[in-house]
Structure 1
Amino acid sequence: MTTTVTADLAMSLDGFVAGTDIGPDNPGGNGAQALFHWIHDLASWRERQGMTGGEDNQDSEIMREWFDSTGAVVMGRTMYDTGEEPWGDNPPFRSPVFVLTHRPRQPLVKEGGTTFTFVTDGIHSALEQAKAASGGRNVDIAGGAATVQQYLRAGLIDELQLHVVPVLMGAGLRLFDNLGTRQRRLEAVRVVGTPGATHLKYRLHG
């Protein structure tokens, strides 16, 4: 079975996936909370955080699908560093996470099945390690924007899912900057509209 490489991100209507002034005390940047407000009360999200209750609706089903289908994650060092100290004692990934970095360190084992492995030899190595650890499930390129852009430029992402939130941020990090001149065709797989977000899923070709 061929492992599918995905990227799954919330995005503002004007194309931003993070705000300005990102840092440890401001992990998503200014205004980024507007991108994620629809997620926090979902039953699938709360379940992932070890909580009960929440809304069981189309948004929750789409998030649960992502959780269930993802066997490993790749992220950039900035995303790791701006996680909750970082990512708390029991991160929501529940799978191996491979962190792109220039600063080597030993793997970090957390509760709930999450292990952070720090990869210093580039995006291809991180992806191959993630595929080997995924158990045949998807590998998700989690972010941030620059990391997803690297994998898009290299033609390594098979499916892209965007949760387009009805907000205009005006500034921040755009997902579709810095992609070079390579053209790729996107095949629409699914479009689901809810009050919280419009969920767009594409398969990439070329």
Structure 2
Amino acid sequence: MSKVRVGGFSISLDGFGAGPEQSLEHPLGKRGPELHQWMFGTRFFHTMIGKEGGSDGVDQAYAQRAMTGFGAFILGRNMFGPVRGPWVDDSWKGWWGANPPYHAPTFVLTHHPRDPIEMEGGTTFIFVTDGIEAALDQARTAAGDLDVKIGGGVETVRQYLRAGLIDELHYALSPVVLGQGEAMFAGIDLPALGFRVTEHQASEHATHVVLAR
């Protein structure tokens, strides 16, 4: 049976999943890239950006797993881009250029309608205006027997957690203290939601923790 999963979500030691003040210049928020150092050096990430080389090992295994087995993705609007309010034009098509890394139907939560965008590599961005459950219903249909990934950002993951709609979480706990940003766990009681730690493994750059219900 297909699952709804969060995979490869980086958080700081003090529980922030993104830095403050996200903008065009700082897509992950200020200091946000520090959370993702565990992934940047992997063979998986090098391949994704068209480079050779990269490391194997623990981080590579979790990075590969974080993007494998999914037939659809769900993103919050902030994860798609810095544009706020109504779509003034169709020029913004995501942070990733012509060939985004999803290669599957990708549903973007928004309050403002927009026509789907077909990108290279099999990614189609579909904009959903009637809430997280409607987006998940569409994503499950698109994914078939494959899993659905809740790709972020922080508030999107939190919404799906509060609604009890996530089956598995993989957090990469980075050895970084941000002090401020988007807090992942504020007001979230994971044990009360039925989650327990099912695996954990450390590398030089992160501690990978998987929780499941």
TM over 0.5: yes
1:170 to 179, 193, 201: 179
For 2:3 and 2:160, locate their aligned partners in 1 and report how far apart those are by CA, in whole Å.
13
Contact 1:190 1:201 in 2 (8 A): yes
**1:1-206 mapped onto 2 (5 Å cutoff):** 2-8=1-7, 9-82=9-82, 85-179=94-188, 183-204=192-213
Q: One-letter code of the match for 1:149? A: R
Q: Which moved more, 1:48-57 or 1:15-24?
A: 48-57
d(CA) in 1 for partners of 2:149, 2:24: 23
Letter in 1 for 2:163: A
Tell me the secondary structure at the aligned position of residue 61 of structure 2: helix
Moved more, 104-113 or 175-184: 175-184
Give distance in 1, aligned partners of 2:191 and 2:127.
29
Q: 1:36, 1:27 → 2: CA distance? A: 13
Aligned mates of 2:120, 2:211 — CA distance in 1: 33
Q: Deviation of residue 176 (structure 1)?
A: 1.1
Amino acid at match of 1:164: L
Structure 2 residue matching 1:73: 3-state secondary structure: strand
CA-atom RMSD, angstroms? 1.9
Unaligned runs of 5+ in 2: 83-91
Q: Which amino acid aligns with 1:7?
A: V
- Cα contact 1:74–1:127 (8 A) shared by 2: yes
Q: Deviations over 1:53-82 (max 9, x none)?
A: 211221111111222222211011111114
Q: Distance in 1 between matches of 2:207 and 2:77?
A: 29
> Which amino acid is 1:173 matched to?
E
Structure 2: distance between partners of 1:138 and 1:105: 25
C-alpha contact 1:80 1:87 (8 A) present in aligned 2? no
| Residues 30/171 of structure 1: CA separation in 2 closer, same or farther (3 Å cut) | same
How many pairs does the alignment contain?
203
Q: 1:182 to 1:200 in 2, by over 3 A?
A: closer
Consecutive aligned runs of 4 or more in structure 1 exceeding 6 Å deviation: none
**CA–CA distance in 2 between the matches of 1:120 and 1:41?**
36
Q: TM-score, normalised by structure 2?
A: 0.89
Q: Among all aligned residue pairs of Structure 1 and Structure 2, give the percentage whose two residues are the same amino acid.
A: 39
Partners of 1:153 and 1:182 within 8 A in 2: no
- Partner Cα distance (2:156, 2:128) in 1: 13
TM-score, normalised on structure 1?
Answer: 0.92
From the superposition, tell whether residues 13 and 128 of structure 1 become closer, same or farther in structure 2 (CA, over 3 Å): same
